[in-house]
Chains A and B, each alone.
Chain A
């Protein structure tokens, strides 16, 4: 990176930290710290919600998926708009009127303290691991670019973020998110312009899209009903609906956002902003990955985008096999380029299929040589393009956007973890009648503690497959079951605390069994978890009611 790029990164980071710290002036009470005194306008809440989702994971993981498999990942978001409508009608007015700090606080009002504690605990476990992944994604990117170790990169990112989140609370999170949203979209737009300029030197846009289409990368919709396929129209509409309902309706990191809105309507408008914008936005991010693919048809790509293992492999027993793969790769790349230049779709698709196979074999060589069974190349595609093909200044902007987006997203999750820890555990179970200032102090300490935990998790998560899938897989272990409890709470009158608790236990058990013993794709885990909780919850509630009637009579 040039001095100019470094300057942009440093100035941007300093601005984010200063802006976040400035918000600490309005956080002298718990309601200001965790809920911004319920005063934020809908557009700020909406942009904050979207910025949380549009994290560094989105930039790195989704563009990588666009490059390797095309647009099909967009189906994952098909359930989101429907979920936003359902949540606007149900939980937004419920939570706002209940004037709660956390979503789980409401469950004690409706059921009992055991259900509240269990769901809040599941949230803490799931979200804390997801937070680790949120930090790991940009750490992978930045450590590759700078040649630093992942631990030092994580620290560089986490320390300022924990600092301003601890002092500024949710206000700092929301307002830095708003700025992040504009910066990330601006940086993405810049990347698309650079890609289009690069691609149209060799082919026009129509030809470029035909090349992408020949390899199936523009095939966004898969109408097959196959439970083993991760991304289909049906898994997106049904599984994605339940995942979105769980995430936006029951996850404190999202609920906390619309609890900061001025009114019920402002909360609804903030969610509907995502309903309108999310799918088109994800489409453009995936399309960026597809354009990177077309760009590398005419610019020779590396066999593997992550080059950090090259020296190790060259010095080891796999050196000859790897060099042979590289020669084969170079030949097929030339054949693909020639086919692409003359519009030979069949030849192009055949060469691309061969390249996939060679890359897969190269990945196997790396796994064997390094002993890293989780090695994946997909997360290095976009960062490699940025650092090798974007002009000076824009590289700094892209890196700054990734860096700060990750911090901003992680900051929101940290704030939510802190609120659940203090409100649902510390104040509810341990120290019940202290002054507001005491809980505020503990909240800041809890924020710092979760920040430390997330750093440790991120070191592990950095070595897992496609990062965006890792986040969603972690979430899917818990989300569906938690959603089932909220369905019992809000949509039924027959459920009671005993039923909700045992329904939750059953839901978790079934989801974990399905996840580890069947090939069913993870998006369906949300639906399965929610259904099991509702069915078992209603059955146990009915049994408990009958038992009470019998003993009463």
Chain B
């Protein structure tokens, strides 16, 4: 059991971090699109 407890306590929701991943990806895609437009 002692091996199991830290695993369960190390299981926390990370919703904020997931949203941040999506926001960062959207920004990166937008920047790539702008780069293509600027130098097209």
Contacts and interface: CB of A to CB of B under 8 A. Distances in A.
A220 B36 contact: yes
B6 to A, nearest CB: 6
Contacts of B18: 85, 88-89
B10 A78 contact: no
Contact of B39 (A89, A218, A264): A218
- What interface size band does chain B fall in? 20 to 34
B21 A283 contact: no
A340 to B, nearest CB: 14
Given A220-B32, A221-B32, A221-B33, A213 B21 contact: no
B14 interface: yes
A262 to B, nearest CB: 7
A78 B36 contact: no
Nearest to B11: A264
Interface in B1-40: 6-7, 9-12, 14, 17-18, 21-22, 24-25, 28-29, 32-33, 35-36, 38-40
A381 interface: no
A81 B25 contact: yes
Given A78-B29, A263-B6, A263-B11, A84 B39 contact: no
A64 to B, nearest CB: 20
Nearest to B12: A265
A82 B10 contact: no
Residue from the set B7, B10, B12, B17 with the largest chain A CB neighbour count within 10 Å: B7
A272 B17 CA distance: 8
A413 interface: no
A219 B28 CA distance: 14
A88 B14 contact: yes
A234 to B, nearest CB: 12
Contacts of A220: 32-33, 35-36
Given A218-B39, A220-B32, A263-B7, 8 more contacts: A82-B25, A85-B22, A213-B40, A219-B40, A263-B11, A272-B14, A279-B25, A283-B28
Interface of B: 6-7, 9-12, 14, 17-18, 21-22, 24-25, 28-29, 32-33, 35-36, 38-40
